[in-house]
Amino acid sequence: MHTTEQTLDPARTAVLVMDFQPGILANLPDPETALARAAAAIEIARGSGATVGYVRVAFTPEDLEGLPETSGMGARVAGAGLRLDVASPQTAVHERLAPVDGDIVVRKTRVGAFSTTDLAERLSARGVDTIVLAGISTSGVVLSTVRDAYDRDYRVLVLADASADPKAEVHEFLTTEIFPRQAEVITVEGLARKLGN
């Protein structure tokens, strides 16, 4: 039986590129593939008129001072040293994926994209109710954002080939066994079809 693939309305869709930062990409065995796929997803989004959003993780000294002793995030960031400092080139969006005027850019201080940013408000202001996620890593920002976005009633899609994890087997497990419960898992090529490119 032939089924028609469900399309996306570009006016209501945002492609979110999450944690594509030099300091995080360095954890991957093959960062070039992830960068190329994310760049292709951005091009597809721009070509269709969909919103492109960037989420980066970085901390100011004040952010760190505000974390309680019980914070696992605080301990992890302290262990990373300057690699996650807001002023470090390691926390900038990778130059190959650079934002342009009109894109959404937010800085977070937790794992997921929403809890410490105004991302939800900025998406709402544009009428976005569907988000397509590309991120590093699958077990970090992507997992946390899928769960949170699902709870916030977004339609959620995950770009399996524009996301990556330091452990390939973890990426495979999440994209095949866990994410399909709350998100549609697609490829960059599938995104092009869904946005009419």
Residue spans of the domains in the chain: they are: 10-194
> Residue 189, SS3?
helix
Average pLDDT across each block of 10 residues of the chain; the chain has 197 residues. List them in order: 73 98 94 97 98 96 87 80 82 96 97 97 98 97 98 98 97 98 98 92
Query: What's the rounded Cα separation, in Å, for the pair 96 and 152?
Result: 31
Asked whether 128 and 156 are in contact (CB, 8 A), the reply is no
Measure CA 187 to chain center.
Answer: 14
Strand ranges (E), the chain: 13-18, 51-57, 104-108, 130-135, 155-159, 184-186
B/e letters for 131-152, b = 16+ CB within 10 Å, e = fewer, are bbbbbbbbbbbbbbbbbbbeee
CA–CA dist 99, 156 (Å, integer): 22
* The predicted structure's pLDDT at residue 48: 97
Question: How high is the pLDDT of residue 1?
Answer: 41
One CATH from 3.40.50.2000, 1.10.3720.10, 3.40.50.2300, 3.40.50.850 for 10-194: 3.40.50.850
pTM (predicted TM-score): 0.94
CA-CA distance, 48 to 117, in Å (whole number)?
Answer: 26
> In degrees rounded to 5, what are phi and psi of residue 50?
-75, 160
Q: pLDDT at position 72, please?
A: 86
Exposure on the CB side of residue 181, measured as CA atoms within 13 A: 7
- Amino acid 195 reads L
Reading the block at residue 163, the tokens are: 């996301």
